Amino acid sequence: MNGVHDLGGQHGHGPVVVEPDEPVFHQRWEGRVYALISLARRRGLFNLDEMRRTIETMPPSEYLAAGYYQRWLDALERLLQEKGVVDGPPPVAAPSVEAPRVAPRFKAGDLVRTRQFNPRHHTRLPRYARGRAGVVELVHGPYPVPDRRAHGDGSQWQPVYTVRFGARELWGEDGHALDSVAIDLWEEYLE
């Protein structure tokens, strides 16, 4: 999904303000939202990818006006309604699932290229890294594919690869020749 949430590498948003000695929570309610989300996820009410999808589909003006934990709170409210928890029967935890054995297509040291696509749904492949070449550093997994898990389908598992991209590959001459970015990517994102 090419939404307002995917700002990586974009210009015009001003500098990132770093607050020295920034507290984890600026207000007490933020810690409570964190605790509620953690509890809901542990109870199996929703998963991390469903939460990300819900945040990513916020109206752009609301997304930009909301702070970090306000987005979490909005997602929590929407997910509890979507799942029928707020007015429905008591929640039932999702059954635990053992990871299937899946042979990876790539190995450390392989040169790979990310797919170039414009999804209409949640994805963990950032826009700035689409259609770019990188080198596999590590092979992990398998893990559920977040693009489908965000919509409640956790049945498809794939290896995940840490892929390192040179800054110039991602941002052209604006990238420093010695800088790089490592991104964890599911196999279906790679060619």
Query: What DSSP element (H or E) covers 139?
Result: strand 133-144
Tell me how crowded residue 122 is: count the other CB atoms within 10 A of its CB.
23
Quick one: CA dihedral 161, 48, 44, 69, positive or negative? positive
Q: What's the confidence (pLDDT) of residue 5?
A: 54
Q: How far is CA 78 from the centre of its chain?
A: 18
Per residue in 43-91, pLDDT (tens digit) is 999 999 999 999 988 888 788 878 889 999 999 999 998 888 887 555 5
Question: What are the φ/ψ torsions at residue 139 (nearest 5 degrees)?
Answer: -115, 125
The better pLDDT of the pair 66, 189 is held by: 189
- For the chain, domains (ranges, CATH) are 1-96 (1.10.472.20), 111-189 (2.30.30.50)
